[in-house]
Structure 1
Amino acid sequence: MLGTLLSFCLMAIGARELSGEVSTFQMLFFRSVIGLVAISLLMFATRTTAHVFTRRLRLHGLRNVFHYAGQYGWFVGIGLLPLAEVFALEFTVPLWTAIIAWLFLGEALTKAKLAAIGFGLLGVFIIVKPGYEVVNLASLIVLGAAMCYSISHACTKSLSATEHPFTILFMMCVIQLPIGFVLALPSWQMPVGTQWNWLLLIGVTALSAHFCMTKAMQYADVTSVVIMDFFRLPAIAVVGVFLYNEQFEWSLLLGALLMLLGNVAAMSKLKAGNKIESEITEVRANKTKRK
């Protein structure tokens, strides 16, 4: 998840630097091209090319349609809103993800998760100060992106149970590349100079972010992973202040603190629950041996 945090922050910087110079559709297209080349080379180097095949193509398609829509909304928001506000609005994802994972993946919606999500959302509301200034088109686009991301996260959790991370990443690039190309054609403009550097950064970090997220989901349930993702908010706020002279507000510290408290409480409950479950399993195993 630390790898995910760093990747998303660097990707946001790349998107901000290209905003107004390269269209969002082109950014997403080149992201897929760079990602496809990188993952293909990595699979050849590790002799894991068998992972290009999948028996769950429909779920991959569903995941990537919603992920592409979420990514588009996120990139648009990066160019229109302060970085911290984009990330804060994006962090409504845990609410939608928890509901979707509960409805379709059978994950338990425990009191600890609900409390953590509640603290997190309260922190978001304190940061963005819901009111007239938040209810605008850019904010609604980012909120829509958050809903799309939640569906994508739920699909990733389901896929990670049977699919190798390379398969998920490879299918992401293969499916999203033609979508991005078709949508980018009407406003196509060949990148020049340092724009290629930023596009390369976006392509690489998009791949590393999803690899890290997919691996994290193999070790924890989807809601816990997304809750940990809250740490991106204070990190990107620092980036916004120092790189783009965005206004620093003390409410950010309060909101981030609430998110941290919720996250720590959820992780403590999760670890305690896992410990108890492990002890019960051990007792049962000992009884079986005695019999």
Structure 2
Amino acid sequence: MTPTVRAALWMIGSIASFSAMAVAGRELSGRYDTFEIMMYRSAFGVVVVLSLAAATGAWRQINTRNLGLQLLRNMAHFTGQNLWFLAVTLIPLAQVFAMEFTSPLWVVVLSIFLLGERLTATRAIAALMGFIGILIVARPDMGNLNLGIVAAASCAVFFALTNVLTKRLTRTQDITTILFYLTTTQLVFGLLTAGYDGDIALPDAASLPFLALVGVCGLLAHYCLTNALSLAPATVVVPIDFVRLPVIAIIGMLLYAEALDIWVFVGAGVIFAGNYLNLWFETRKPRAQTA
């Protein structure tokens, strides 16, 4: 089995996990608010991360360096994830995923300010294409702009900030430490935000499987994606990841009678083109410099 085929199989796992998490989040929205969903997701995540760390001995790698950066990174992720869960309850799932795909283009913008990277003409064009894609997907006007669209567009920015800060953390920290602080700090954030009113909805027999699904799939999706990127170039993995859009559109149609909006696919195509243009150029720069 070639590395590309193996990467594709990992991406099938990632696509299935992200899609399952979106469906579970919508199913839970009738009983739990987004803060409570995030609290339970983080609780399951803590159990999984600590169990794996104990089983592999990786817990020895956990340290207290860069706590400020860890906190900032996880606040960004917590905010983005809450906005994402809010969006999946308010607008069609395909629209949420299309907006989420602008996150890599926001990374281009944020990297200039946070990582000191240079803005090239290609990166500027890619970012502009992403913005045009957002306008096509959202088609904002006074009658169409709503909280769900704003939440979906905003979550992509916070996910991008999370990725940029993660890149900074990987310079000095291993994945076990990053995941440990991701789950534990977000569990604290979840407890504080979900319990601010003194009322936290407890799991029942009907919702517990969905809560477990959110917690496990949240970690599994990124684990599968990371493995895929380790086996194949991003220019191979990213097009596969965009399969999430038609998959979730079909799921939304079958489970929730959501209409298949052609403009969501057109906008997502523009966003994909911007992402792929940037990836294509960046992966070929080293070859040009060494030629």
The TM tier, using the shorter chain, reads 0.7 to 0.9
More off after superposition, 144-153 vs 31-40: 144-153
May I ask how many residue pairs the two structures share in their alignment? 278
Q: Deviations over 1:236-284 (max 9, x none)?
A: 223212222101122233223323333333333233213223x34xxxx
- Counterpart in 1 of 2:3? none
Asked if the contact 1:31–1:199 (Cα under 8 Å) also holds between the matched residues in 2, the reply is: yes
1:168 to partner: Cα distance: 0.9
- Counterpart in 2 of 1:52? 62
Counterpart mapping for 1:231-250 below 5 A? 232-250=244-262
Structure showing greater Rg: 1
- Counterpart in 2 of 1:145? 155
Tell whether 2:212 aligns with 1:194.
Answer: no
1:61 to partner: Cα distance: 0.3
Tell whether 2:181 aligns with 1:171.
Answer: yes
Tell whether 2:164 aligns with 1:154.
Answer: yes
Aligned equivalent of 1:264, options 253, 266, 276:
276
**What TM-score results when the alignment is normalised by the length of structure 2?**
0.83
Q: CA RMSD in A?
A: 3.0
1:131 to partner: Cα distance: 1.6
**2:22 counterpart letter in structure 1:** A
- Counterpart in 1 of 2:44? 34
Counterpart mapping for 1:1-291 below 5 A? 2=11, 4-185=14-195, 186-212=198-224, 232-277=244-289, 279-280=290-291
**1:266 counterpart letter in structure 2:** N
Q: Deviations over 1:61-105 (max 9, x none)?
A: 001112111111111111111112222333443443222111111
Q: Deviations over 1:7-38 (max 9, x none)?
A: 32221111011111222222111111110110
Asked if the contact 2:14–2:222 (Cα under 8 Å) also holds between the matched residues in 1, the reply is: yes
More off after superposition, 91-100 vs 195-204: 91-100
Q: What SS does structure 1 have at the residue aligned with 2:30? A: coil
In structure 1, distance between residues paired with 2:106 and 2:89: 24
In structure 1, distance between residues paired with 2:237 and 2:162: 13
Asked if the contact 2:138–2:145 (Cα under 8 Å) also holds between the matched residues in 1, the reply is: no
- Counterpart in 1 of 2:5? none
Asked if the contact 1:60–1:171 (Cα under 8 Å) also holds between the matched residues in 2, the reply is: yes
Q: What SS does structure 2 have at the residue aligned with 1:97? A: helix
**2:17 counterpart letter in structure 1:** S
The gaps in structure 2 that reach 5 residues or longer are 1-9
In structure 2, distance between residues paired with 1:110 and 1:231: 28
In structure 2, distance between residues paired with 1:263 and 1:31: 29
Asked if the contact 1:67–1:148 (Cα under 8 Å) also holds between the matched residues in 2, the reply is: yes
More off after superposition, 194-203 vs 119-128: 119-128
Asked if the contact 1:94–1:227 (Cα under 8 Å) also holds between the matched residues in 2, the reply is: no
Identity of aligned residues (%): 35
Q: Deviations over 1:119-139 (max 9, x none)?
A: 333233222222224422333
In structure 1, distance between residues paired with 2:149 and 2:276: 28
In structure 2, distance between residues paired with 1:247 and 1:199: 27
Distance 1:232 1:132, change over 3 A: farther
In structure 1, distance between residues paired with 2:132 and 2:242: 12
More off after superposition, 230-239 vs 23-32: 230-239
Q: What SS does structure 2 have at the residue aligned with 1:270? A: helix
More off after superposition, 50-59 vs 84-93: 84-93
Asked if the contact 1:120–1:230 (Cα under 8 Å) also holds between the matched residues in 2, the reply is: no
In structure 1, distance between residues paired with 2:67 and 2:184: 11
Asked if the contact 1:16–1:78 (Cα under 8 Å) also holds between the matched residues in 2, the reply is: yes
In structure 1, distance between residues paired with 2:36 and 2:79: 14
Asked if the contact 1:24–1:72 (Cα under 8 Å) also holds between the matched residues in 2, the reply is: yes
